Structures are given as C-alpha cells and as structure tokens.
C-alpha cells in the first residue's frame, strides 16, 4: 500500500510476483488460487488483462484513412466492431487487383491465400492491403498529441512553451551527457575498439543485466528487421541535415557550445544525416463527431517499408528487390541456399552457411561482403547468427518433409490448393516451390513462438509474465480441453462475430486468454463444441472453401493492423549491445574468454567474415554466456556513438546513432515522455526525482546514483516557472477531476522541472523503478502489451489458418512440438513448472549439434548459459555447477 502514491503500476507488489522472497512462508501457500501466492499471481494477471482492455479501447489510431469510421461507425455498427475497410482494398493498377475482384467486393482467393505472399497482401483475405509493405505506420496516441515540436494546438504550446525543436534540446549533448558509458580504464576500451589482436585484457565497462544474454539483444534486432523499417533500401531522403552538438543548457539557460566544450563532451558538430521520408505531410483532413473536431490522421505520416506481419520477411523478402536477394538452392528449390565454408573441416560446416552477396545482386555498396538475405541493413554478428540458424532450420524442416514423403509417398500431406480444396495433395505431389513456402510458414511460426514464450518470458522474468505470455500462445487453460474448447467457441463465434463494440473487443480479449490467441478459430465445430474437441476429426467442419473459416480467427479491434510509430520508438534498444564480445571456443574450455572482439569489427561484411572464421558454435556459446547491457541511462555503446557511415559522405563520415534515435523520434512526432505515458493510461511524473526507486534505502549507493542521474536530467532539460492557467493535456485529468496544467500539481508560479520535454527514449531509460525481472521499463511494456498481442490477433496464419491445409501435417506438428519427434520435456521443474524444452533451445540443438553439452544445462536460451537460475525467479549472478572457473562470474556488475 505504501507504494500506491508513486507513479508506477502496483501489481508488482503482490505476493509471488518477485523472487522467492516475495512468496509467503511455505505453510501459508497451500490453497491454490485462494492462497496468497494464488491471489498474487491471479491479481497481477487480472491487472494485466485490464491494461490490455483499456489499451484496445483507447489507443488504436489508424493512419491509413479508416479513423473517421472508427469514431463514427458505419451502417449502425460502431467503429471498434468493424471488420473491413475500403482503405484496405487493393488499388487499381495493383498486379492482383483483378484477382481479388477489381472494383467489386474484394476477396482474396486461390494462389493469393495459400501462403504468406511476397509483399504481405491477402493475409486478411477481406482486407487485402493490410500489413503489406509500404502501408502507413499507425499511432497509439491521439493524432493531436503527435508532433509536439510543431506547436499545432494550445495543449502542445502550453505543454512545451517554445522549448522544443528538432535539435532542441541538443540530441548529441543529450547523448554524451545521458547515454555515454563511464569507463574505469578508457585505455583498455578505446571507444569500443578494445586492444590490438582482440586481446582478452581489453575492457569496456557497461551495466549488465544478470538474467539476459547478448543473444537476446541481437534477437530483438533480428525481430525488428522483420516487423518494421522506415528506410528504403537502407537509405532515407537524399537531403542532408545537421544533428546538433551546438548548444547546451547551463544554469537553466540554453547557450552555444564552444569547440572546446564539444570536444570535451566528445560530440561532433560536423555530423550530417539524411532526412526521414514522409508519406503525407500536408494538413490532415478533419471531421466532427460527438460535438468534437477530430484529425483524420497524424500531422505527418510515414510508411512501414517492410511487411508488418510476423512473416520472417527479413529472411524471405517483402518486395521484388528483397526477394531477389534471397538465394534458393538450385539442387532443391525448397531450400535456401547454404554453402560449405571455405574451410571444409570447420566444425558445424556440414550444414553450411548462407552465401555471400554477388556483384549483380540488388544491394547497396555498404552491404557487399555480407551474407545474402532479404533485409541486409545494419548487419551485425547477431544478424549473421540468426539468419544462418534459421536458414539451417528451414533446410532441416525440408529434409524431414522429404524423408516423410519418401516413406509414405501416397499419404495425405495435409496441404491443399484453395483452387481445388477437396483434392488431397499427397506427399509425392508436393512441389519444391510449395515446400519452400510451407518452410517459410513453419519458420515464421517458430520465430513467433520463441519470441512469445521464450524471449519475452526472460525479458520480463517473473511468474505473472510467464503465465501471461504462455496464455497468449497456449491459453490459460492449457491441457484442460473442455474449458479450452468452450472458450474458443465463445470467443470466435460469439464475440468475434459480434457487432457490439464491447463484445467484439473487450470481451474478445478476455476470453481469448482461455484458449490462447495462437490457433484461434483453426477448428470449427458443427455440433456441441464442448465434446467435439475429444474427437476433432469427426466433427471439425473447418473448410478451405469457406472464407469465414479461413479468416474467422482474426480480430483487428476495429483498427487495421500495423505497428504504431510509438512502437518503433520503444524498440530503440541500442543500449543492449556491449562494446566488446567475450569470445569463447565451444571445443576448448568454454569457461575461458579467449579474446575480446569489438562489436564494431563484427558489423556489415565483417560480421560475415567473423562468422565464417570462427563458426556458429563458438559465437553461440560466446553470445549465450555474455550478459547484455541494461536499458538505463549512461549505458550506450561507445561504438554506436561514433559509427562510421561512409554512405553519408559527410565531413566526419560518422554518426552518433543514439543521438539519431532522438532525432528520428522527433522527426516522426513521437510525443515526449510524460504525455506519452498519459496517452497510454499510465501515471505522469511531476518531477525528475520521481524516477528514483523509493524502495531503495536512503543513502544506499544505488539510490545515490539514481539521485545523481535525476539531477543530471534536470541540468539537461532544465526547469521553468509554471502557469496553472495553462492546460496541457486532454488524455487524463487529475484525480479530483480538474484539468492537468503546466504546474503538474505544484503551486502556481513555482519552479517546476521540464519533465514534459523529456524525449521518450530518455524517459524510459530513466525508469529505475520496475517490476521484478523487467529488462525493460513499465512504459515500454505498456506499448508491448497492446502491440505484441495484436501481432497475433490480426494474423490469419497464427489463428484460423494455422492448419495442415497451409502448413502440412508435419508443419503443424513441428510448430506445436518445437520440432520433429514429439514434445520433449525439460528436466526438473524450472520456476515450479513442468514444461517442454524451449523452442529456441530445440532449434539450436538441431542446427548447431556441437552445443549439446552446453545446452544440456540451459532452460531458456536467452538466460546467460552458465548462470545458476537458483530458486524462483532469482536474478543473482552466480555460476552453475561446472562453470565455477568462468571469469565472467568474477565481475559482479
Ligand atoms: C551492431 C548493432 C547495430 C547497429 C550497427 C545499428 C545501427 C542502426 C542505425 C545506423 C540506425 C539508424 C537508421 C536511420 O534512422 O537512419 C538504427 C536504427 C534502429 N535500430 Fe539499430 N543498430 C544495431 C543494433 C540494434 C539493436 C540490438 C536493436 C534492438 C532492437 C536496434 C534497433 C533499432 C531500431 C528500432 C531502429 C529504428 C529503425 C527505424 O527507424 O525503422 N538496433 N540502427
């Protein structure tokens, strides 16, 4: 209760939501859901579900022209219950225009609905354009709250005065003061370049997360390349702009930065970057509804240049150019091409590596020398790692399929052609092209499963999130078939088809947690649902010829699916990356760090070289054991602040990528931190001091450090004399119902912190108060609750089309069981659960078999591999049995 006065969510204070110390004494923990533990976890899950309901209700704002209908409804149906939109029809001139019905009603059919299409059209067969490449990014905040720098309305002007601009406060100064990692031995770090010869004596300090490894950092970069990009072929507009290092605030006054001050800070006034693309920049149309004037879109919009679907487009492509970069094996076109490494004796070489780009491939100069793949930008050793692993996994699936085909050529593969839905496709008749696309479906579903049930449960390492994420995938009532079947039928048939806005959205999400989102609507029962699940073959009447079955499991909650601009912002996770990689050899005492390899020497073409020289197994071990960087202030890698980008041809040839993170968010109109939180239903902060974690004892070193950083925020962003007559937001009101003003509850005319001006990235990096085991902040998490669920809810291939007709029988089984040969159960009871061996661990065991001894002791592939996981959700940094000599455990932080 003592914590309720803070701005932070409080479910994290319930019983059993932390580590073992948060559990009641054993004797009190007997009565399941009624015990303190049961009440704590159930309470947290309820709170989380409420958060999702509220987000679905308030935070879906589509930029593609459907928002007016969302507000006004259509033909007597309220906006949130609408399911199709004219704005998502294929336009005249689109190559598939006629195939989907031209200017009549549009419905995807035939070849367009078989697999994930190259550009992402026809995932939703009734809204062909949804989620395809080059559709506008959506928003999660009121359009009026976007682009605060433009001062377009009174609220924005009242909130920020004249204090904001694209380069104000100065982004490079913020980067140097608030993002730079302090170094205890700068000569051993050398701005991230380490020591000659990759000497193990090099050292770049960084604040480390004890329960999350470097593989996890690169995993999320790998994911973002699938979900979104603002760039076109690795480029922005040709027009260049400056990026700061020209002014700083001192004693609350903005002053020009002298050359000495710039050089002391380490920033570069000569840096230049290419401006962002915009899709629409003119004044947005407006409409009035319910006595209020509304914008029909944000002040400017940008396009997502890749498919928004979780379709592994980074591996398989999203348009013609990217498809042309993907190489298929000429000997078996069902496979991606993998070649033998230059040294055939190389361990793990048997399965091969992705080939390197050739001169005629459609690429930028900066990508030459890299492995050939669809999304080559910002290539790193981690991208090389995951692209190779999943290319191998694709091949393994194909080989398993051909083996099955050889053993049972006349059996039904499960696959169907929608043009001949009643004809079984036998194993022997499956073509290489078909199997390639099936492989893509299987690999993308595995990736989604790894992300949902393995990466995220380690990112948010506590029991409520373990349960919550597993509920998203498998459902809360996993294994209780009667309950699952009943809830699935209610969700899909009643709430899914309802034209009542509340049922179609809020009730839908609550009930979907029962059976889980994955596979929703993939079975349709003609008779009594409750008993049908016991004999699904007899009564499942799902039909490929029925569009309502094929598409029946998706729900967009009245707002077409695409990621919002705000989502990109909270994925600006560059702080996760260390400067040096601690290199180990899988076959030569894994406890010894053989060298410290600068990440900057493992990017672009050098990533490919490093991968081939040292091999997947050793890189897996190295990145699997090393902790990633905490998402907090003063913890960004030096190499990204000084990244050479030759394509810019600027005076310095370099860019500070983490300053650019701020510039891009400002260019694209992401609201600043406090308004961002209010828009998402979170509590605002009223001073920088509220960032300090009140649970820490006064005077403790950690608290003192947080207080120092809060002081630094004040120095960088400043303060002003407030005016209580200025209303600053329409997103929330004060608890007593009065409007929120410039004074944020402080007395009129008092000096208040410029907390409203804090860039969102800076704000969430400053959130020291977090639920147990959260590698991200509460603000970022709030954005994920909504959008991570939507990625599943909206995708037909993860819901009603998760069927053998698309995936084949083997594919369905592979995704369900995490590979061939049935489910394999993990040893012991990790955190009290009996569970299947995790999906990424299974993938790694198959694709890099040399790792078997190391992985034998790993439960979650994203937890540092040699860490003792200890008791219930321990965050301790302690070696497991057999890794006592690993020197990483000698470094406590
Ligand atoms: C070696 C590692 C990395 C390098 C060299 C790198 C480089 C870059 C660069 C140069 C940009 C700016 C593009 C622009 O706006 O012009 C960028 C953007 C971005 N990076 Fe990274 N990055 C790395 C790792 C990561 C990681 C681990 C993440 C984690 C999620 C990440 C997430 C992002 C995001 C979300 C953007 C914005 C993309 C967009 O605007 O569409 N990056 N990165």
Q: What is the DSSP letter of 111?
A: G
Contact 488, 520 (CB under 8 A): yes
Q: Supply the residue whose CA is at minimum distance from atom 34 of ligand 1.
A: 572
User: By three-state DSSP, how is residue 280 classified?
Assistant: strand
CA Rg, the chain, in Å?
27
Question: What is the structure's pLDDT at 525?
Answer: 80
User: What residues have CB less than 8 Å from 251, skipping those under 6 apart?
Assistant: none
Rounded Cα distance between 609 and 379, Å, is 12
Q: Supply the residue whose CA is at minimum distance from atom 4 of ligand 1.
A: 378
Ligand 1 contacts CB of residue 230 (under 6 A):
yes
Q: What is the DSSP letter of 505?
A: I
Q: Write out the two tokens for 267.
A: 């920033």
Q: Supply the residue whose CA is at minimum distance from atom 41 of ligand 1.
A: 229
Q: How far is CA 544 from CA 97, 309, 436, 441, 798, in A?
A: 22, 22, 21, 17, 16
Rounded Cα distance between 366 and 378, Å, is 9
Q: Supply the residue whose CA is at minimum distance from atom 12 of ligand 1.
A: 657
Q: What is the pTM of this model?
A: 0.96
Output the CA 274–ligand 1 centroid distance in Å: 15
Q: Write out the two tokens for 430.
A: 């499956």
- For residue range 195-226, what is the model confidence (pLDDT) as tens digits? 999 999 999 999 999 999 999 999 999 999 99
Ligand 1 contacts CB of residue 229 (under 6 A):
yes
Atom of ligand 1 nearest to the CA of 655: 10
Rounded Cα distance between 227 and 307, Å, is 7
Contact 275, 241 (CB under 8 A): yes
Contact 418, 114 (CB under 8 A): yes
Probe residue for ligand 1, chosen from 134, 378, 665 as the CB with the greatest number of ligand atoms within 8 Å: 378
Question: What is the structure's pLDDT at 33?
Answer: 83
Ligand 1 contacts CB of residue 487 (under 6 A):
no
Ligand 1 contacts CB of residue 88 (under 6 A):
no
Contact 116, 108 (CB under 8 A): no
Ligand 1 contacts CB of residue 628 (under 6 A):
no
User: What residues have CB less than 8 Å from 513, skipping those under 6 apart?
Assistant: 49, 471, 472, 475, 476
Atom of ligand 1 nearest to the CA of 576: 27
Atom of ligand 1 nearest to the CA of 603: 1
Which residue, among 668, 675, 757, has the nearest Cα to 299 in the 3D structure? 668
Ligand 1 contacts CB of residue 657 (under 6 A):
yes
Output the CA 759–ligand 1 centroid distance in Å: 17
Which residue, among 620, 892, 831, 635, has the nearest Cα to 22 in the 3D structure? 831
Probe residue for ligand 1, chosen from 219, 221, 313 as the CB with the greatest number of ligand atoms within 8 Å: 221
Output the CA 191–ligand 1 centroid distance in Å: 19
Question: What is the structure's pLDDT at 66?
Answer: 98
Atom of ligand 1 nearest to the CA of 668: 40
Question: What is the structure's pLDDT at 1?
Answer: 75
Atom of ligand 1 nearest to the CA of 381: 1
Q: Supply the residue whose CA is at minimum distance from atom 19 of ligand 1.
A: 572
Contact 875, 211 (CB under 8 A): yes
Reported as type and span, the H/E element at residue 67 is helix 67-72
Atom of ligand 1 nearest to the CA of 664: 15
Output the CA 476–ligand 1 centroid distance in Å: 35
Other beta carbons within 10 angstroms of residue 647's beta carbon come to 13
Which residue, among 480, 496, 495, has the nearest Cα to 530 in the 3D structure? 480
Atom of ligand 1 nearest to the CA of 599: 1
Rounded Cα distance between 461 and 440, Å, is 30
Output the CA 358–ligand 1 centroid distance in Å: 25
For residue 169, cis peptide bond before it (omega within 30 degrees of 0): yes
Q: Which residues of the chain have pLDDT under 50?
A: 345, 529, 532
Ligand 1 contacts CB of residue 599 (under 6 A):
yes
Ligand 1 contacts CB of residue 380 (under 6 A):
yes
User: By three-state DSSP, how is residue 267 classified?
Assistant: coil
Pure H helices in 230-380: 259-265, 313-316, 320-325
Ligand 1 contacts CB of residue 272 (under 6 A):
no
Ligand 1 contacts CB of residue 225 (under 6 A):
no
Atom of ligand 1 nearest to the CA of 602: 1
Q: Supply the residue whose CA is at minimum distance from atom 33 of ligand 1.
A: 572
Q: Supply the residue whose CA is at minimum distance from atom 22 of ligand 1.
A: 378
Ligand 1 contacts CB of residue 236 (under 6 A):
yes
Ligand 1 contacts CB of residue 221 (under 6 A):
yes
Dihedral sign for Cα atoms in the order 442, 444, 445, 451: positive
Q: Write out the two tokens for 344.
A: 């055939």
Terminal-residue alpha carbon distance, the chain: 31
Rounded Cα distance between 461 and 648, Å, is 41
């Amino acid at each position: 209760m003592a914590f309720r006065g803070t701005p932070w969510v409080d479910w994290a204070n319930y019983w059993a939501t932390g580590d073992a110390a948060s559990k009641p004494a054993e004797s009190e923990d007997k009565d399941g859901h009624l015990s303190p533990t049961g009440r704590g976890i159930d309470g947290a899950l309820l709170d989380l579900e409420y958060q999702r309901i509220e987000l679905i209700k308030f935070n879906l704002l589509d930029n593609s022209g459907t928002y007016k209908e969302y507000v006004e409804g259509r033909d007597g149906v309220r906006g949130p219950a609408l399911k199709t939109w004219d704005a998502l029809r294929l336009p005249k001139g689109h190559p598939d225009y006629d195939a989907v019905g031209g200017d009549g009603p549009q419905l995807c059919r035939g070849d367009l609905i078989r697999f994930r299409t190259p550009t992402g059209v026809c995932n939703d067969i009734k809204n062909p354009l949804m989620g395809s490449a080059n559709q506008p990014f959506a928003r999660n905040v009121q359009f009026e709250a976007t682009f605060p720098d433009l001062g377009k309305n009174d609220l924005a002007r009242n909130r920020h005065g004249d204090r904001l601009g694209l380069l104000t406060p100065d982004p490079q100064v913020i980067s140097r003061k608030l993002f730079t990692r302090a170094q205890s031995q700068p000569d051993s770090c050398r701005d991230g370049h380490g020591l000659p010869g990759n000497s193990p004596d090099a050292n770049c300090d960084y604040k480390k997360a004890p329960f999350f490894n470097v593989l996890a950092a690169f995993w999320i970069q790998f994911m973002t390349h699938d979900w979104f990009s603002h760039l076109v072929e690795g480029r922005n507009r040709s027009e260049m702009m400056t990026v700061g290092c020209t002014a700083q605030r001192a004693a609350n006054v903005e002053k020009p930065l002298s050359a000495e001050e710039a050089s002391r800070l380490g920033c570069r006034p000569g840096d230049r970057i290419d401006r962002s693309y915009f899709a629409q920049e003119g004044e947005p149309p407006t409409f009035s509804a319910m006595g209020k004037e509304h914008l029909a879109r944000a002040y400017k919009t940008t396009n997502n240049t890749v498919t928004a679907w979780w379709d592994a487009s980074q591996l398989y492509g999203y348009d013609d150019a990217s498809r042309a970069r993907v190489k298929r094996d000429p000997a078996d076109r069902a496979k991606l091409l993998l070649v033998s490494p230059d040294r055939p004796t190389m361990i793990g070489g048997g399965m091969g590596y992705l080939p390197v780009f050739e001169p005629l491939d459609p690429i930028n100069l900066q990508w030459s020398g890299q492995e050939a793949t669809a999304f080559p930008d910002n290539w790193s050793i981690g991208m090389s790692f995951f692209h190779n692993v999943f290319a191998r996994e694709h091949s393994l699936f194909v080989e398993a399929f051909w083996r099955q085909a050889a053993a049972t050529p006349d059996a039904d593969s499960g696959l169907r052609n929608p043009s001949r839905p009643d004809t079984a496709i036998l194993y022997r008749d499956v073509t290489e092209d078909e199997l390639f696309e099936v492989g893509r479906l299987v690999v993308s579903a595995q990736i989604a499963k790894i992300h949902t049930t393995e990466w995220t449960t380690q990112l948010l390492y506590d029991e409520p999130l373990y349960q919550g994420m597993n509920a998203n995938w498998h459902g809360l009532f996993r294994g209780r078939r009667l309950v699952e079947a009943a809830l699935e039928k209610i969700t899909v048939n009643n709430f899914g088809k309802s034209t009542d806005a509340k049922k179609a959205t809020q009730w839908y999400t609550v009930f979907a947690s029962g059976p889980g989102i994955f596979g929703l609507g993939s079975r349709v029962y003609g008779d009594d649902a409750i008993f049908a699940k016991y004999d699904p073959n007899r009564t499942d009447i799902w039909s490929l010829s029925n569009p309502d079955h094929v598409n029946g499991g998706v729900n967009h909650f009245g707002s077409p699916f695409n990621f919002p601009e705000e989502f990109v912002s909270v994925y600006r996770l560059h702080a996760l990356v260390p400067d040096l990689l601690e290199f180990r050899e899988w076959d030569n005492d894994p406890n010894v760090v053989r060298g410290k390899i600068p990440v900057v020497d493992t990017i672009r073409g050098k990533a490919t070289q490093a991968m081939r020289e040292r091999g997947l197994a050793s890189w897996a071990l190295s990145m699997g054991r090393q902790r990633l960087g905490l998402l907090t202030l003063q913890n960004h890698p030096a190499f990204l602040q000084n990244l050479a980008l030759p394509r810019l041809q600027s005076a310095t040839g370099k860019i500070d990528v983490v300053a650019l993170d701020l510039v891009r968010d400002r260019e694209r109109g992401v609201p600043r931190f406090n308004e961002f939180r209010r828009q998402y239903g979170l509590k605002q902060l009223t001073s920088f001091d509220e960032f300090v974690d009140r649970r820490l004892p006064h005077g403790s070193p950690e608290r003192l450090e947080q207080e120092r950083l809060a002081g630094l925020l004040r120095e960088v962003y400043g303060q002003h004399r407030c005016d209580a007559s200025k209303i600053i937001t329409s997103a929330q009101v004060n608890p007593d119902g009065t409007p929120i003003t410039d004074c944020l509850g402080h007395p009129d005319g008092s000096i208040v912190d410029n907390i409203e001006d804090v860039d969102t990235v800076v704000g969430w990096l400053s959130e020291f108060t977090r639920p147990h085991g959260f590698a991200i902040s509460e603000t970022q998490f709030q954005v994920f609750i909504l959008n991570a669920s939507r990625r599943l809810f909206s995708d037909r291939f993860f819901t009603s089309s998760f069927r053998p007709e698309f995936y084949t029988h083997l594919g369905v089984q592979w995704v369900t069981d995490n590979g061939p040969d049935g489910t394999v159960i993990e040893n012991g009871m990790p955190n009290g659960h009996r569970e299947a061996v995790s999906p990424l661990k299974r993938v790694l065991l198959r694709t890099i078999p040399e790792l078997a001894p190391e992985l034998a002791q790993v439960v979650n592939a994203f937890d540092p591999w040699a860490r003792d996981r200890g008791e219930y959700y321990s965050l301790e940094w302690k070696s497991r049995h057999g890794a006592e000599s690993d020197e990483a455990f000698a470094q406590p932080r």
